[in-house]
Homo-oligomer: A and B are copies of this chain.
Amino acid sequence: MDISERQLEIIEAAGRILTSSGVSGLTIKNLAAEMKFSESAIYRHFKSKEEIIIAMLNYLAQTMDTRLTEILATELSVEEKFKELFRNQFSFFKKNPHFVVAVFSDGLMEASKAINETILKIMEVKVKHVHAVLAEGQKKGVFTKSISTAELVHITMGAFRLHMYKWRVANFSFDIKKSGDSMIQSVLTLIRAKSK
Task: Point out residues on A near B: beta carbons under 8 Å.
Answer: 22-24, 104-107, 109-111, 120, 144, 146-148, 151, 154-155, 157-163, 165, 169, 183, 186-187, 189-191, 194
- From the candidates B23, B106, B146, name the one contacting A189 in the complex (CB within 8 A): B146
- From the candidates B107, B160, B191, name the one contacting A106 in the complex (CB within 8 A): B107
**Contact assessment for A147 and B190 in the assembled complex, using a CB-CB cutoff below 8 Å:** yes
State A161–B163 Cα separation when bound (angstroms): 12
**Contact assessment for B169 and A154 in the assembled complex, using a CB-CB cutoff below 8 Å:** no
State A111–B22 Cα separation when bound (angstroms): 10
For residue A24, which residue of chain B has the nearest CB?
A: B110
**Contact assessment for B159 and A154 in the assembled complex, using a CB-CB cutoff below 8 Å:** yes
State A43–B146 Cα separation when bound (angstroms): 56
**Contact assessment for A187 and B110 in the assembled complex, using a CB-CB cutoff below 8 Å:** no
- From the candidates B23, B144, B160, B186, name the one contacting A147 in the complex (CB within 8 A): B186
**Contact assessment for A110 and B22 in the assembled complex, using a CB-CB cutoff below 8 Å:** yes
Q: CB-CB < 8 A to A155: which residues of B? A: 155, 158-159, 186-187, 190
Q: CB-CB < 8 A to A111: which residues of B? A: 24
**Nearest CB of B to A77, in Å:** 20
Q: CB-CB < 8 A to A159: which residues of B? A: 154-155, 158-159
For residue A162, which residue of chain B has the nearest CB?
A: B158
- From the candidates B24, B107, B154, B194, name the one contacting A183 in the complex (CB within 8 A): B154
**Contact assessment for A163 and B158 in the assembled complex, using a CB-CB cutoff below 8 Å:** yes
23 A-B pairs with CB atoms under 8 Å apart are A22-B106, A23-B106, A24-B110, A24-B111, A105-B107, A106-B106, A106-B107, A146-B189, A147-B189, A147-B190, A151-B186, A154-B159, A154-B162, A154-B163, A155-B158, A155-B187, A155-B190, A157-B158, A158-B158, A158-B163, A161-B161, A161-B162, A194-B194
